[in-house]
């Protein structure tokens, strides 16, 4: 009995060793094949692919360096202004730059500024495929994956809203209980140039028209308010909100008339304040003198223009005190003060027309300084050959 068991063990040992050897040989061969495939794939990488990947890495490293410099500059500005670094916002940065580096340049693009790198460094597409040439995006071979992905998202949102509308109607409920139509008043679709910057791709006019028609279809859906964030991501306001959009509330004087006073009326070096009283007889005084005895015709027309534009001439009394600057800058300061005060006595449509006409825009232009080596700000000396 014991000898039979020993013989059985002997007969089984070589088989086990054979099985172990074959399995290990199979594992080694599979590993070798995988390494060969990987080496072949690496060998297939072209010079153009390597250059493309290097450019993508350089762009990412450049953006990372710019972000670090922005954070460091933000910290220095906060320390200079004596503010908390953690709660120092972009608005605080703009105010600090304007305070530390005052500029009288009219063009805002020429003034010193400090913005996050994402706002002034042009966006570029990241690596669209790996080292083996396999694209990351499923719509890569369309040529414009971001644009067609955007159209796909629009259709997907429409289908979701349609499914919600059908289920709501089948349950016998009203659509008002689950949503409403979106209100896009005061905004418009992004123009083609801004859309191309947003998706970092160039599209044709026909493709842009297709995008607008698809978004209009989504906007017209009775439940489009549920995708409000997606819709407004591709819209922009018609008129940007300004800091001085707060309309002053009229007060009452001793005669019971409504009155509004606007301070800090600026134009070049002129400073003044303007008070309007309603109802009035059309009396206009500048520094205690009647308007007819102040300045020339062009300057008097500047002061009267806001009243004539809003058809309030003869209905409001104006009292202005202005100092500094010349006659032209004083007239510009009074004109701006009258226009800002008139907002309290006209409707919103009239305010919108005043804004379009430029009456509510402060004029920051100043006299340009003389340049060294020149006869004036722009004038050059007469060139003489001998």
pLDDT at 313 over 60: yes
Q: Are 256 and 215 in a shared domain?
A: no
Q: Are 88 and 169 in a shared domain?
A: no
Backbone angles phi, psi at 226, to 5 degrees: -75, -20
- Cα–Cα nearest to 257, from 240, 229, 279, 289: 279
- Cα–Cα nearest to 62, from 117, 119, 129, 116: 117
Q: Are 230 and 177 in a shared domain?
A: yes
**pLDDT average, residue stretch 26-36:** 46
Number of domains making up the chain = 3
**How far is it, in rounded angstroms, from Cα 29 to Cα 15?**
21
Running DSSP on this structure, what letter comes out for residue 374? S
**How far is it, in rounded angstroms, from Cα 70 to Cα 208?**
35
Angle between helices 145-170 and 205-219 (to 10 degrees): 20
Give me the half-sphere count of Cα atoms (radius 13 Å) on the Cβ side of residue 58. Answer: 6
Q: Are 257 and 353 in a shared domain?
A: yes
pLDDT in tens, 327-363: 999 999 999 999 999 999 999 889 988 988 889 988 8
Each as own residue / partner, the long-range contacts of residues 7-15 (CB below 8 Å, 24 or more positions apart, any chain) are none
Q: Is this structure's pTM higher than 0.75?
A: no
In a domain, 386, yes or no: no
Q: Worst-scoring range by mean pLDDT, 80-84, 151-155, 208-212?
A: 80-84
Residue 187, SS3? strand
Q: Worst-scoring range by mean pLDDT, 17-26, 69-78, 312-321?
A: 17-26
Domain of 325, CATH number, reads 3.30.230.10
In a domain, 295, yes or no: yes
pLDDT in tens, 33-42: 445 544 444 4
In a domain, 7, yes or no: no
In a domain, 257, yes or no: yes
Pairing of strands 284-286, 317-323: parallel
Whose structure tokens read 């008070």? 275
In a domain, 9, yes or no: no
Q: Are 268 and 313 in a shared domain?
A: yes
Q: Are 257 and 208 in a shared domain?
A: no
Q: How confident is the model at residue 239 (pLDDT cuts 50, 70, 90)?
A: low
Domain boundary pick from 237, 271, 288:
237
In a domain, 382, yes or no: no
Q: Specify which residues 327 forms β-bridges with.
A: none
Q: Are 262 and 350 in a shared domain?
A: yes
In a domain, 304, yes or no: yes
Other C-beta atoms closer than 10 Å to the C-beta of 185 total: 6
Q: Are 160 and 198 in a shared domain?
A: yes
pLDDT in tens, 136-163: 788 888 888 999 999 999 999 999 999 9
Q: Are 205 and 173 in a shared domain?
A: yes
CB-based contact 79:95 (threshold 8 Å): no
Q: Are 114 and 152 in a shared domain?
A: no
Which structural domain, as residue segments, surrounds residue 102?
47-119
Q: Are 255 and 349 in a shared domain?
A: yes
**How far is it, in rounded angstroms, from Cα 306 to Cα 242?**
19
Q: Are 229 and 261 in a shared domain?
A: no
Domain boundary pick from 237, 261, 293:
237
**pLDDT average, residue stretch 101-115:** 74
Domain boundary pick from 188, 210, 237:
237
In a domain, 3, yes or no: no
pLDDT at 14 over 70: no
């Amino acid at each position: 009995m014991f000898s039979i068991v020993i013989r059985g063990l002997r007969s089984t040992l070589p088989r086990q060793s054979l099985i172990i050897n074959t399995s290990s040989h199979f594992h080694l061969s599979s590993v070798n094949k995988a390494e060969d495939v990987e080496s072949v794939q690496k060998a297939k990488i072209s010079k153009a692919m390597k250059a493309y990947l290097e450019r993508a890495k350089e762009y990412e490293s450049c953006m990372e360096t710019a972000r670090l410099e922005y954070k460091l500059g933000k910290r220095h500005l906060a320390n200079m202004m004596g503010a908390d670094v953690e709660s120092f916002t972009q608005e605080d940065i703009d105010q600090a730059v304007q305070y530390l580096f005052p500029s009288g340049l009219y063009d805002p693009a020429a003034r010193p500024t400090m913005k996050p790198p994402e706002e002034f460094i042009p966006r570029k597409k990241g690596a669209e495929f790996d080292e083996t040439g396999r694209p990351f995006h499923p719509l890569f071979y369309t040529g414009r994956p971001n644009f067609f992905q955007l159209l796909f998202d629009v259709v997907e949102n429409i289908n979701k809203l349609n499914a919600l509308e059908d289920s709501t109607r089948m349950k016998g409920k009203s659509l008002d209980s689950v949503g409403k139509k979106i209100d896009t008043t005061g905004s418009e679709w992004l123009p083609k140039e801004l859309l191309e910057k947003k998706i970092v791709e160039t599209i044709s006019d026909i493709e842009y028209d297709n995008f607008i028609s698809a978004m209009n279809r989504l906007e017209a859906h009775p439940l489009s308010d549920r995708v409000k964030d997606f819709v407004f991501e591709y819209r922009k306001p018609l008129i940007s909100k300004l800091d001085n959009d707060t309309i002053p509330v009229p007060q009452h004087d001793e005669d019971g008339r409504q009155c509004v006073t606007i301070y800090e009326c600026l134009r070049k070096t002129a400073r003044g304040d303007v008070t309007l009283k309603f109802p009035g007889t059309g009396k206009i005084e500048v520094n205690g003198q009647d308007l007819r005895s102040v300045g020339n015709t062009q300057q008097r027309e500047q002061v009267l223009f806001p009243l004539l534009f809003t058809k309030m001439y003869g209905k409001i009394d104006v009292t202005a005190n202005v100092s500094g600057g010349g006659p032209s800058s004083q007239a510009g300061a009074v004109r701006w003060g009258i226009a800002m005060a008139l907002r309290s006595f006209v409707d919103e449509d009239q305010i919108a027309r005043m804004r379009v006409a430029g009456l509510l825009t402060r004029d920051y232009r100043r006299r340009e300084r003389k340049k060294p080596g020149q006869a004036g700000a722009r004038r050059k000396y007469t060139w003489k050959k001998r």
